[in-house]
Amino acid sequence: MPEFSCILFDLDGTIVDSAPGITATLAFTFEQLGLPIPTPAELVAYVGPPILDSFRDLAGFTPEESLRALAIYRPQYLKAGVFNAEVYPGIREVLRAIREADVPLSLATSKPETPATLILEHYDLLKYFDIITGASDDEKRSAKADVVEEALTRLKDFGADVSNPVMVGDRHHDVAGAAAHHVPTLFVRWGYGSPVEEVGTIGVATDAAELTHLLLG
C-alpha cells in the first residue's frame, strides 16, 4: 500500500452499525404513510446510500413522495433512532492509530452532518477527526461523489496534503463516489455491502487490525 496523505471515512456500516436505528425509523415512516412495512432484510438495503435515493430506488417514491417521507423520517430519527447504534469492534483503535500517526482524517458520509456529528460525539469519536463532512442537512449535497469532493476541499483548506487520499467504506456507492475524484477505496467487510461491491477497490479488510495495517502499514 502507498503512504496515504489523508483518509476519508464512511460512517454507517464502517464506523458504526447504525442499522437498528435507521430501520426502526424507516418502519415508523412507512407506518405513518399508511404503507406496508418492508421486511427487515429489505429495510437494511436502505442503510448507507442517501436516504432520498433509497426512497426513490427501493420504495419507488416520486420526488414529492420522497420529501414527504423524509419529513417524517428525519425528526423521528433524531428523536429516537440516532443513538440506536453500536461502534464496530476495534474501530476506536483504528481511529486512534490514525490520529497518532498524524494523518489528516475526514468523515465522508451520506448521512447529514447534524446526526453524523451527534453520533461521533455520543461515542467519543469526534476527537479523532480533523474534518466532519456529510450530506448537507437539506440533502442538496448527499451523493457520495459530492460528499467526497467537499471532504477533499475542506481537508485542503485545513492545510492537509490531498495528493494521495484514500476512502474507507462498505458499499458500492462509497467506491463509485470516491472513484469520481480518482480516490481509491479500501473496503470493509463488516458493513452492509456484498462481495460484488468490492469490485474496483484497492484492498479489503475483514477486521479492524487488518484495516489499520492497510492504512498505516
C-alpha to C-alpha distance for 187 and 26, rounded to whole angstroms: 26
Closest by alpha carbon to 117, among 136, 94, 145?
136
Rounded mean pLDDT, 190-203: 96
Q: What percent of the chain has pLDDT over 70?
A: 99
Q: Where are the beta strands (DSSP E) in the chain?
A: 6-9, 16-17, 86-87, 105-112, 131-135, 165-169, 185-188, 203-205
Q: Domains plus CATH for the chain?
A: 6-17+86-216 (3.40.50.1000), 19-81 (1.10.150.240)
> Is residue 38 scored above 80 in pLDDT?
yes
Mean pLDDT for the chain overall? 96
> Is residue 1 scored above 70 in pLDDT?
no
Quote the pLDDT of residue 210.
98
Rounded mean pLDDT, 42-71: 94
Across the strands, what pairs with 187? 169, 204
Q: What percent of the chain has pLDDT over 90?
A: 94
Rounded mean pLDDT, 185-195: 96
Rounded mean pLDDT, 155-159: 98
Which one-letter DSSP state was computed for residue 203? E
| pLDDT tens by residue, 106-144 | 999 999 999 999 999 999 999 999 999 999 987 778 899
pTM of the model: 0.92
| pLDDT tens by residue, 59-86 | 999 999 999 999 999 999 999 999 999 9
Quote the pLDDT of residue 141.
84
